[in-house]
Amino acid sequence: MENYSKTTAKDFKMDNDVRWCPGCGCHAVLSAMQKVLPETGIKKENIVFVSGIGCSSRFPYYINTYGFHGLHGRGAAIATGIKLANPGLSVWLVTGDGDSMAIGGNHFIHLLRRNLDINILLINNKIYGLTKGQFSPTTPKGSITKTSPSGTIASPFLPGELAMGAQGNFFARVVDNDLEMMQKVFIAAASHKGTSLVEVLQNCVIFNDAVHSEITSKELRDENQIYLEHGKSMLFGKNKEKGLIQDDSRLKAVTIGQNGIKKEDILIHNAVDREDTKHYMLVRMMLPENPIAMGVIRSCEAYTYEDTYYQQIEASRNKSTVGNVNDLFMSGNIFKLENHNGN
């Protein structure tokens, strides 16, 4: 934890203009990240922000670390190369619902499957912003957008489901108007060893304004969000008077004191359980029956790809008698010709 006291949020700010629209949720995400990075204790030279293409993918330009603004959908692949090349770096991938759920879907699932120690911020506004208002793979079914004048036809992806289906070990969800929640979760993601996916429910003021307002608005958020913490009861509501219980194969929102429900009946969140059934249930909870799950939903330890790769290198070095390319070239079937050969 070198330099812990030396850096502050200011050190991670750039002096260029941040060009997101006024009121865009990305401003808050950036601000939360700039506050979090000093707390991770990692030297800023050792941090790399990688992104794809989209509004949120401008992120690396606004944060004073190494940065790589890549190709549409390919941020995960670029980040993979960086992390494998130098596992000592702290690598963040900032991406959006178009970038990672559509054009980069393949790289996204394989990054999770491999479990490289990369932190992903998936900024989900359920619309294409940079190309001005076409539907994305997370746009709710039936939505009218520039490319769906009669309403979208297909069911949207739930990023958390996709991540767990791809063997993901860490999934969290936050909202862009809760700075404290973002900071807590970003730190948890940073300290998780392995691929960590944080879905940020972000508001696009121009093309999809208020898409998350049922979840995020001041009036509704206490009733419509449940913030999960490992080892704690799954409680929500203004006075934490509500909670979740398991009813047959689904989770059910209940009020303590009604229908004989006691506080002890409320489920306790186990984020580290390898068995992911309950994590799926939490990810899938929908309004109006249930609140939307926030916080770290799943956080399991597993070997990372790069650690195993470098262990294989080490083992191979210890076992092999070939220590450089000359040894390699001279191994196996070689023969020597003298000056004048022939018989």
Partner 1 sequence: MKKRVRVIERDDVVVKFAGDSGDGIQLTGAQFSDTSAFIGNDLATFPDYPAEIRAPQGTVAGVSGFQVRIGHKEIQSPGDQADVLVAMNPAALKANMNWVKPGATIIVDISSFDSRHYKRAEYVEDPLGDGSLDEYNVVRAPITEMTRDVVKRFGLDLKTADRTKNQFVAGILFWLFNRDLKIGENFLRDRFRNNPKLVEANIEVLRAGYNYAETVEAIESTYRVKPAEKGPGYYRNINGNTAIAWGLLAAAEKSGCKLYLGSYPITPASEILQELVKTKNLGTIAFQAEDEIAGVCSAIGASFAGCLGVSTTSGPGLSLKSEGIGLAVITELPLVVVDVQRGGPSTGLPTKTEQSDLLQALYGRHGESPCVVLASSTPANCFDFAYEAARLAIEHMTPVILLSDGYLANGSELWHIPEISELPKIKVPRIKDNDPSFKPYNRDPETLSRFWAVPGQEGLRHHIGGLEKADVTGEISYDPFNHEIMTLLRRDKLDKVVYYIPRQEVIGQPEGDLLVIGWGGTFGALYTAVQEMQEEGHSISLVQLNYINPLPYNIPDILGRFKNIVVCELNLGQLATYLRSKLPHFHYLQFNKVQGLPFLISELKHKFEEILGFSGS
Counting contacts by CB under 8 A, is residue 336 touching partner 1? yes
Counting contacts by CB under 8 A, is residue 308 touching partner 1? no
* Residue 45 DSSP symbol: G
Buried-state track 142-166, b at ≥16 Cβ within 10 A, e below 16: ebebeebeeebeeebbbbbebbbeb
Q: Is-contact 61 70, C-beta < 8 A?
A: no
Nearer to partner 1, 77 or 204 (CB): 77
Counting contacts by CB under 8 A, is residue 2 touching partner 1? no
Nearer to partner 1, 286 or 334 (CB): 334
Q: Taking the complex as a whole, how short is the minimal distance between the CB of residue 326 and partner 1, in angstroms?
A: 5
Counting contacts by CB under 8 A, is residue 328 touching partner 1? yes
Report the C-alpha gap between 251 and 234 in whole angstroms. Answer: 11
User: At what angle are helices 179-191 and 26-40 packed, to 10 degrees?
Assistant: 50
Q: Which two tokens stand for residue 138?
A: 């997370």
Site string for partner 1, 29-68 (x = CB under 8 A): ---------------xxxxx-xx-x------xx--xxxxx
Q: Is-contact 125 97, C-beta < 8 A?
A: yes
CA angle 249, 101, 60 (to 5 degrees): 125
Counting contacts by CB under 8 A, is residue 6 touching partner 1? no
Site string for partner 1, 79-108 (x = CB under 8 A): xxxx-xxx-xx----------------xx-
Counting contacts by CB under 8 A, is residue 341 touching partner 1? yes
Counting contacts by CB under 8 A, is residue 5 touching partner 1? no
Reported as half-sphere exposure (CB side, CA atoms, 13 A), residue 71 has a value of 6
Q: Taking the complex as a whole, how short is the minimal distance between the CB of residue 240 and partner 1, in angstroms?
A: 44
Report the C-alpha gap between 111 and 80 in whole angstroms. Answer: 7
Contact set with partner 1 (CB under 8 A) = 16, 44-48, 50-51, 53, 60-61, 64-71, 74, 76-82, 84-86, 88-89, 106-107, 110, 309, 312-313, 316-317, 319-320, 322-326, 328-330, 332-339, 341-343
